């Protein structure tokens, strides 16, 4: 027996299938989709069995060493899916398979996460119980009515128990104990509104892609749950994707209340062990509904009946920091075709690409135009900070301050958003203008108050804070920029009696802390929730009647063609947190560009207006959805060599790709990162006739080059 094995080394050089022979004693364990141990050069590595055959033309093949998995880790569908992703993203096949599996499965031997077991005891029915007395009889009586958990056997004699086990009277049984537990209640089912019902009934049971455009608070989640319930009735499973963890606790909670322990939740806040447990519950069919962030799209479910992507505009669905640079939305469509099931993408502010597809009829458009509570969307007031800055010293305009104090007086709650995109608190010298930069990257260091250090958010470099400017030796260092900590301090000074909860990357990084904060705020243990983008999404607090945006502009100023779209979407999303119950809500947005269309349309809650305006700009500037974009990153340690090779690549693209616009090479936004220099080339193209073929040749050309690394990102979420 010969197996074709894809070796677990993500190197373009060896991304192919190698043949190995299988010793007789291992042959019965071999299945396609399991991993085996193999000799590779002088090392022992792991690899996936991709095919099984009787013989090979390759001479001198080696034996595999051992079997890693007893169960298949990549089923037939996932094996095909990996190939498709490889074709679409041009990354290595092995990286496409690795991205599908939980880390615990990828870990090298020795650090594998263990399964946890509980020990149970039960009576052996085939053994006579005569002649038992005293302590032994006591134990036997305890186990008479079925298996008993070890921890429930209290005050018993351990030696008697051991004797009973030795005699074969009591049987010991290990059962797997999953780290997470879900309570099994099914109460929370709402009676759908007419709009919700018609959305549900428009979704068929074959493959189509639907775009559910529903304003904030229109009851999209209820529609998802109803669709999933229908699938369950037919014995089918579902996947629900949500953007990162920020959305997950409340969402999981709602699904759990409706579907009990039929759900498995996968998100970054789980430990590797918990993820591994959830993964195996899914494989075994013990959970039919999988909820999770991007990578949950690879959940090893079979018989999928529905794939839901909530907040589909979120850029978190695109993996952009490592290969394969895939989009979970594309993967959803591939899986939807395979299972012949619908894919439903929902949002209050759909991405331009998706909405354009819906208008063309490629996606089917469903809409929920009204809020469930029957109230309109909250009133939005825009404050022109150009005037306010003369009146108030801090970050808060007078109208916003007045509104906050009014709400607190009425015992209502407030959410404040500090728009931190592309923003950080860095330190400069007031005297000579010196700023602290990372020695490895072209990036200003960020000031962290709690640890009183300066840190690089890219490479992790850290240093203590100086009192004296290293350049001019003056004691004139100034903490510029706004961090949430600084705003929190200001807020505490302004409202000494208010209970303020700060939520940002720093305060939510500890496991479970985010969930605790949300619960505490929901229980009104705090009056004001102050946070970064993390507070804008999906949260549903009924007592919140004011949302304030401290600085609407920061995300507008980012040099990215999506900056208006992202700003419009952020403002609409955060505004949607206000007035979600019987009380109506209001929104106050502070801005230095009050007439910018992204801000004006968000004031009017006018998605269509924004869409039309933004589309004319995209058409003019030849950006998506009118053109596709591919970003090629060329990087290396030698600055001159990187530029030289980048120019060669550009010339080769110019020669070979027609009907496209090729820009660059230009230095990346962060030119030097960890002492690696980076150039980028952008290809804008209308149809992808030969583009992957040409790029594949370029990758092939550089695959043995130690000094130059090529990364390709189709449809990048940002540059």
Q: Are 296 and 241 in contact (CB under 8 A)?
A: yes
| Using rule CB under 5 A, residue 424 touches Zn ion | no
How many binding residues for Zn ion (CB under 5 A)?
7
Distance of CA 405 to the CA centre of its chain: 36
Nearer to ligand ADP, 380 or 382 (CB): 380
First to last CA, the chain: 49
How many binding residues for ligand ADP (CB under 6 A)?
15
Nearer to ligand ADP, 6 or 518 (CB): 518
Least distance to Zn ion, CB of residue 672, Å = 9
Residue in the block written with tokens 């999209």 = 220
Q: Are 418 and 394 in contact (CB under 8 A)?
A: no
Nearer to ligand ADP, 161 or 242 (CB): 242
Beta strands in 611-654 (DSSP E): 628-636
Based on its alpha-carbon atoms, the radius of gyration of the chain, rounded to whole angstroms, reads 29
Q: Are 544 and 410 in contact (CB under 8 A)?
A: no
Positions 361 through 390 that interact with ligand ADP (CB under 6 A)? 372
Give the phi and the psi of residue 261 in degrees, each rounded to 5. -85, 15
Distance of CA 543 to the CA centre of its chain: 28
Residue 372: name its binding partner from Zn ion, ligand ADP, none (Cβ under 5 to 8 Å by kind). Answer: ligand ADP
| Using rule CB under 5 A, residue 453 touches Zn ion | no
Identify the CA nearest to 523 among candidates 548, 543, 495, 496.
543
Least distance to Zn ion, CB of residue 315, Å = 23
| Using rule CB under 6 A, residue 219 touches ligand ADP | yes
- 200 Rama sector, left if φ>0, alpha if ψ -120 to 50, beta otherwise: alpha
Sheet holding 343-347, edge to edge: 263-266, 289-292, 237-241, 304-309, 343-347, 209-214, 364-368
Least distance to Zn ion, CB of residue 230, Å = 50
| Using rule CB under 6 A, residue 160 touches ligand ADP | no
Nearer to ligand ADP, 217 or 300 (CB): 217
Residue 440: name its binding partner from ligand ADP, Zn ion, none (Cβ under 5 to 8 Å by kind). Answer: Zn ion
Q: Are 710 and 646 in contact (CB under 8 A)?
A: no
Least distance to ligand ADP, CB of residue 516, Å = 21
The one among 196, 314, 347, 444 contacting ligand ADP by CB under 6 A: 196
| Using rule CB under 5 A, residue 440 touches Zn ion | yes
Least distance to ligand ADP, CB of residue 582, Å = 11
The one among 47, 217, 378, 585 contacting ligand ADP by CB under 6 A: 217
Nearer to Zn ion, 270 or 441 (CB): 441
Nearer to ligand ADP, 218 or 351 (CB): 218
Give the phi and the psi of residue 4 in degrees, each rounded to 5. -95, 125
Length of the chain counted residue by residue: 719
The one among 56, 193, 647, 669 contacting ligand ADP by CB under 6 A: 193
| Using rule CB under 5 A, residue 456 touches Zn ion | yes
Is residue 265 classed as helix, strand or coil in its secondary structure?
strand
Least distance to ligand ADP, CB of residue 598, Å = 21
| Using rule CB under 5 A, residue 671 touches Zn ion | no
Residue 300: name its binding partner from ligand ADP, Zn ion, none (Cβ under 5 to 8 Å by kind). Answer: none
The one among 95, 98, 160, 218 contacting ligand ADP by CB under 6 A: 218
Helix-helix angle 563-575:607-621, to 10 degrees: 170
Give the phi and the psi of residue 187 in degrees, each rounded to 5. -115, -40
Give the phi and the psi of residue 332 in degrees, each rounded to 5. -60, -40
Identify the CA nearest to 458 among candidates 666, 715, 668, 699.
668
Residue 459: name its binding partner from ligand ADP, Zn ion, none (Cβ under 5 to 8 Å by kind). Answer: Zn ion
Least distance to Zn ion, CB of residue 325, Å = 22
Q: Are 290 and 282 in contact (CB under 8 A)?
A: yes
Q: How far apart are CA 261 and CA 255, in angstroms?
A: 10
Nearer to Zn ion, 251 or 445 (CB): 445
Q: Are 172 and 246 in contact (CB under 8 A)?
A: no
Least distance to Zn ion, CB of residue 409, Å = 46
Q: Are 187 and 543 in contact (CB under 8 A)?
A: no
Positions 530 through 569 that interact with ligand ADP (CB under 6 A)? 540
The one among 220, 236, 596, 633 contacting ligand ADP by CB under 6 A: 220
- Would you list the DSSP string of 124-185? -TTS--TT--HHHHHHHHHTTTS-EEGGG--S--HHHHHHHHHHTSEEEEEEE--S------
Element (H, E) at 355: helix 352-360
The one among 98, 160, 216, 319 contacting ligand ADP by CB under 6 A: 216
Residue partners of 251: CB distance under 8 A and separation at least 6:
221, 240, 242, 291, 310, 538
186-194, 272-280, 429-437, 497-505 -> range binding ligand ADP (CB under 6 A): 186-194
47-55, 191-199, 462-470, 597-605 -> range binding ligand ADP (CB under 6 A): 191-199
Residue 233: name its binding partner from ligand ADP, Zn ion, none (Cβ under 5 to 8 Å by kind). Answer: none
Nearer to Zn ion, 461 or 597 (CB): 461
Residue 216: name its binding partner from ligand ADP, Zn ion, none (Cβ under 5 to 8 Å by kind). Answer: ligand ADP
Nearer to ligand ADP, 489 or 515 (CB): 515
| Using rule CB under 6 A, residue 579 touches ligand ADP | no
Q: Are 684 and 622 in contact (CB under 8 A)?
A: yes
Query: How many angstroms separate the Cα of 403 from the Cα of each of 203, 348, 415, 586, 623?
Result: 43, 26, 12, 9, 40
Residue 193: name its binding partner from Zn ion, ligand ADP, none (Cβ under 5 to 8 Å by kind). Answer: ligand ADP
Residue 5: name its binding partner from Zn ion, ligand ADP, none (Cβ under 5 to 8 Å by kind). Answer: none
Q: How far apart are CA 74 and CA 80, in angstroms?
A: 10
Least distance to Zn ion, CB of residue 676, Å = 11
Least distance to ligand ADP, CB of residue 187, Å = 13
- Would you list the DSSP string of 258-272? HHGGGEEEE-TTS-H
Nearer to ligand ADP, 412 or 442 (CB): 412
Least distance to ligand ADP, CB of residue 202, Å = 16
| Using rule CB under 5 A, residue 445 touches Zn ion | no
Q: How far apart are CA 589 and CA 400, in angstroms?
A: 9
Least distance to ligand ADP, CB of residue 565, Å = 19
Residue partners of 534: CB distance under 8 A and separation at least 6:
246, 503, 504, 505, 508, 514
Residue 604: name its binding partner from Zn ion, ligand ADP, none (Cβ under 5 to 8 Å by kind). Answer: none
Least distance to ligand ADP, CB of residue 222, Å = 4
| Using rule CB under 5 A, residue 438 touches Zn ion | yes
Angle at 566 between CA 362 and CA 419, to 5 degrees: 155
Sheet holding 446-448, edge to edge: 446-448, 453-455, 462-464
Question: Interface with Zn ion by CB under 5 A: which residues?
Answer: 438, 440-441, 456, 458-459, 461
Question: Interface with ligand ADP by CB under 6 A: which residues?
Answer: 190-193, 196, 214, 216-222, 372, 540
């Amino acid at each position: 027996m010969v197996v074709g094995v894809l070796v677990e080394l993500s190197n373009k050089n060896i991304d192919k299938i190698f043949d190995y022979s299988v010793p007789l004693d291992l042959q019965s364990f071999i299945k396609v989709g399991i991993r085996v141990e193999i000799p590779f050069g002088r090392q022992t590595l792991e690899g996936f069995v991709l095919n099984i055959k009787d013989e090979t033309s390759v001479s001198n093949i080696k034996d595999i060493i051992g079997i890693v998995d007893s169960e298949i880790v990549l089923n037939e569908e996932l094996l095909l899916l990996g190939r498709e992703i490889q074709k679409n993203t041009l990354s290595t096949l092995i990286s496409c398979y690795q991205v599908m599996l939980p880390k615990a499965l990828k870990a090298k031997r020795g650090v594998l996460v263990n399964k946890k077991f509980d020990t149970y005891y039960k009576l052996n029915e085939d053994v006579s119980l005569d002649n038992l007395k005293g302590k032994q009889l006591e134990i036997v009586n305890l186990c008479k009515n079925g298996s008993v958990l070890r921890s429930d056997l209290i005050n018993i004699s351990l030696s008697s128990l051991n004797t009973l086990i030795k005699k074969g009277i009591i049987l010991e049984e290990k059962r797997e104990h999953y780290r997470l537990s879900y309570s099994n209640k099914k109460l929370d089912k709402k009676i759908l509104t007419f709009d919700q019902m018609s959305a549900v009934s428009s979704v068929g049971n074959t493959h189509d892609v639907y775009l559910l455009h529903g304003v904030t608070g229109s009851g999209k989640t209820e529609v998802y749950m109803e669709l999933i319930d229908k699938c369950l009735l037919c014995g089918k499973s579902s996947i629900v994707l949500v953007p990162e963890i920020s959305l997950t606790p409340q969402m999981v909670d709602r699904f759990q209340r409706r579907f009990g322990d039929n759900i498995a939740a996968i998100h970054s806040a789980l430990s590797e062990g918990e993820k591994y447990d959830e993964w195996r519950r899914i494989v075994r069919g013990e959970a039919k509904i999988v909820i999770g962030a991007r990578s949950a799209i690879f959940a090893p479910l079979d018989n999928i009946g529905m794939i839901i992507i909530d907040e589909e505009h979120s850029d978190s669905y695109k993996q952009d920091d490592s290969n394969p640079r895939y989009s979970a939305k594309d993967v959803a469509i591939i899986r939807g075709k395979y299972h012949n099931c619908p894919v439903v993408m929902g949002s209050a502010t759909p991405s331009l690409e998706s909405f354009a597809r819906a208008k063309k009829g490629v996606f089917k458009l469903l809409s929920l135009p009204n809020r469930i509570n029957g109230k309109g969307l909250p009133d939005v007031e825009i404050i022109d900070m150009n005037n306010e800055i003369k009146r108030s010293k801090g970050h808060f305009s007078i109208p916003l301050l007045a509104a906050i104090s009014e709400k607190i007086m009425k015992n209502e709650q407030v959410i404040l958003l500090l728009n931190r995109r592309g923003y950080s608190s860095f330190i400069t010298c007031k005297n000579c203008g010196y700023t602290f930069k990372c020695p490895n990257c072209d990036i200003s260091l960020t000031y962290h108050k709690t640890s009183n250090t300066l840190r690089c958010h890219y490479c992790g470099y850290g240093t203590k804070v100086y009192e004296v400017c290293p350049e001019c030796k003056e004691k004139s260092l100034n903490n510029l920029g706004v961090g949430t900590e600084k705003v929190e301090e200001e807020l505490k000074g302004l409202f000494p009696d208010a209970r303020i909860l700060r939520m940002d990357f720093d305060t939510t990084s500890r496991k479970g802390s985010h969930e605790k904060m949300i619960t505490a705020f929901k229980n009104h243990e705090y009056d004001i929730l102050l946070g970064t983008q993390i507070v804008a999404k999906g949260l549903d607090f009924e007592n919140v009647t004011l949302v304030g945006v401290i600085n609407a502009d920061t995300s507008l100023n980012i040099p990215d063609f999506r900056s208006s779209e992202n700003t419009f979407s952020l403002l609409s999303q955060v505004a949607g947190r206000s007035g979600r119950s019987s009380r109506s809500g209001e929104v106050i947005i502070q801005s230095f560009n009050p007439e910018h269309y992204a801000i004006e349309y968000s004031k009017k809650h006018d998605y269509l207006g924004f869409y039309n305006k933004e589309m004319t700009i995209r058409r003019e500037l030849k950006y998506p959805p009118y053109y596709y974009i591919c970003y090629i990153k060329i990087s290396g340690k030698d600055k001159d060599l990187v530029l030289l090779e980048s120019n060669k690549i550009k010339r080769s693209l110019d020669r070979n790709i027609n009907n496209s616009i090729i820009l660059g090479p230009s230095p990346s936004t962060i030119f030097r990162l960890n002492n690696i220099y980076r150039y980028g080339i952008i290809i804008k193209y209308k149809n992808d006739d030969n583009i992957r073929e040409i790029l594949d040749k370029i990758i092939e050309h550089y695959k043995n080059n130690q000094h130059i690394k090529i990364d390709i990102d189709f449809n990048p979420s940002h540059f």
